[in-house]
Structure 1
Amino acid sequence: MNQDSNAAYWQQRYETDQTGWDTGAITPPLKEYFDQIRNKEVRILIPGCGNAYEAEYLHQQGFRNVFLADVASAPLRNFENRVQDFPAEHLLETDFFKLSGKYDLIVEQTFFCAIDPAQRAAYAVKCAELLKPGGLLVGLLFDTIFEKQGPPFGGSREEYRAYFEPYFEFIHFETAYNSIPPRQGRELFMVLRAK
């Protein structure tokens, strides 16, 4: 799927409220992780951010260097309407694979499962490229195979390890103990450090 058709696809999903992955709030694993970050100056990127409840929470907690990227404009506008004092220049309507800059932390929340599985290896490379040395990739991956054709696309921890191991040190990569009920036992929580 090229950039324009990809943007149109996701724009249409948001405009027609076909957003079954949208939890309507930050999920417990990410909230718990964010709550232990003491440095509010870290540069954080949330790619494929969707409605970005994670960014809203971080902003409310005083983090001022949070950047959101999405290929579709609708979720970015939704976020802008909800969080009106968020810096507009931190809302990036672009393809993740065209991003530049350096970040301390990249947050993964349902973006990896939304991209074509053929792009997963490139995703790992791009995350490593965007992170400062020792920067962290933190978030959730579905550890399940979905019955319906994706997105979302499922997978397994063994598959994911193969993508990330060349570029990251695995600090934590286990089944999330505090997933929301519909995802219980089917999510991996990861903390990976860029090599």
Structure 2
Amino acid sequence: MEKNKFNKAYWELRYEKNKTGWNIGYASPPLENFIKQLRDTSISILIPGAGNSFEAELLWNEGFTNTFVLDIAKQPLENFKKRVKNFPYEQVLHQDFFELNRTFDLIIEQTFFCALNPDLRKRYVEKMAQLLKPNGKLVGLFFDFPLTEAGPPFGGSINEYKSIFNKHFKINTLQRATNSIKERQGKELFFIFEV
């Protein structure tokens, strides 16, 4: 599999041609439930590979003003800024995830991991661990279907996720999501990992 195929130009073209089947137009129900139970609105939050980032919009509307969105593609970030007009410009990061140098209390994973070339998974795990403050959490959804050459999205399994994350994270939760949207029922795993 060509490592650089899923680069900035690839993602810009996907958004330009509106080939964004992962975009459901609102916050994913498992992540919405998680966000709604958060209490400390001062925590720093990152959503990498944010796309149109309906989760960030929900966080912002819930008072989480220390939220950052990051994407390598410019178009979804522009879409986000048009929807959430008072979101601080400096918290919209148009850059490569692997070049980010900040730390956060919470990182929310929503269709970013599955969009990366599977060859980058180990690097993703290491980078996530670096980006989190002590006791920080990585929370989100993984797809639960066989890893294929075709993608994105690329799949995976509970056993694979455990094997690549357990070196850098404590696995608090990794279970089938019970409130996925109809099209993803039985295909999503909700997780909470802690450094």
TM-score, with structure 2 as normaliser: 0.96
User: Displacement, 1:11?
Assistant: 0.4
User: Displacement, 1:147?
Assistant: 6.9
Match of 1:40 in 2: 41
Distance 1:174 1:147 in 2: 21
Match of 2:165 in 1: 164
Match of 1:179 in 2: 180
Distance 2:143 2:188 in 1: 5
Match of 1:191 in 2: 192
TM-score, with structure 1 as normaliser: 0.96
Q: Which runs of 5 or more residues in structure 2 are unaligned?
A: none
Say yes or no: does 1:114 pair with 2:115: yes
User: Displacement, 1:99?
Assistant: 0.5
Letter paired with 1:32: N
Q: For residues 66-110 of structure 1, what are the alpha-carbon distances to aligned partners after superposition, in whole Å with 9 as ceiling and x for unaligned?
A: 001100000000000111000000010111111111100000000
**Alpha-carbon spacing, 1:98–1:49, altered in 2? closer, same or farther (3 Å):** same
Say yes or no: does 1:52 pair with 2:53: yes
Distance 2:117 2:4 in 1: 11
Distance 2:149 2:168 in 1: 31
User: Displacement, 1:149?
Assistant: 1.0
Distance 2:110 2:135 in 1: 20
User: Displacement, 1:163?
Assistant: 1.0
Give the secondary structure class of the aligned counterpart of 1:113.
helix
User: Displacement, 1:112?
Assistant: 0.3
Letter paired with 1:186: K
User: Displacement, 1:157?
Assistant: 1.0
- C-alpha RMSD of the superposition: 1.4
Match of 2:71 in 1: 70
Distance 1:131 1:48 in 2: 16
**Alpha-carbon spacing, 1:146–1:161, altered in 2? closer, same or farther (3 Å):** closer
Give the secondary structure class of the aligned counterpart of 2:32.
helix
Letter paired with 1:79: F
**Alpha-carbon spacing, 1:148–1:101, altered in 2? closer, same or farther (3 Å):** closer
Match of 1:124 in 2: 125
**Alpha-carbon spacing, 1:20–1:146, altered in 2? closer, same or farther (3 Å):** farther
Q: Which runs of 5 or more residues in structure 1 are unaligned?
A: none
Letter paired with 2:99: K
Letter paired with 1:159: E
User: Displacement, 1:145?
Assistant: 2.5
Q: For residues 167-188 of structure 1, what are the alpha-carbon distances to aligned partners after superposition, in whole Å with 9 as ceiling and x for unaligned?
A: 1111110000111111111110
Moved over 2 A (4+): 145-148
Distance 1:159 1:37 in 2: 28
The within-5 A match list for 1:88-103 is 88-103=89-104
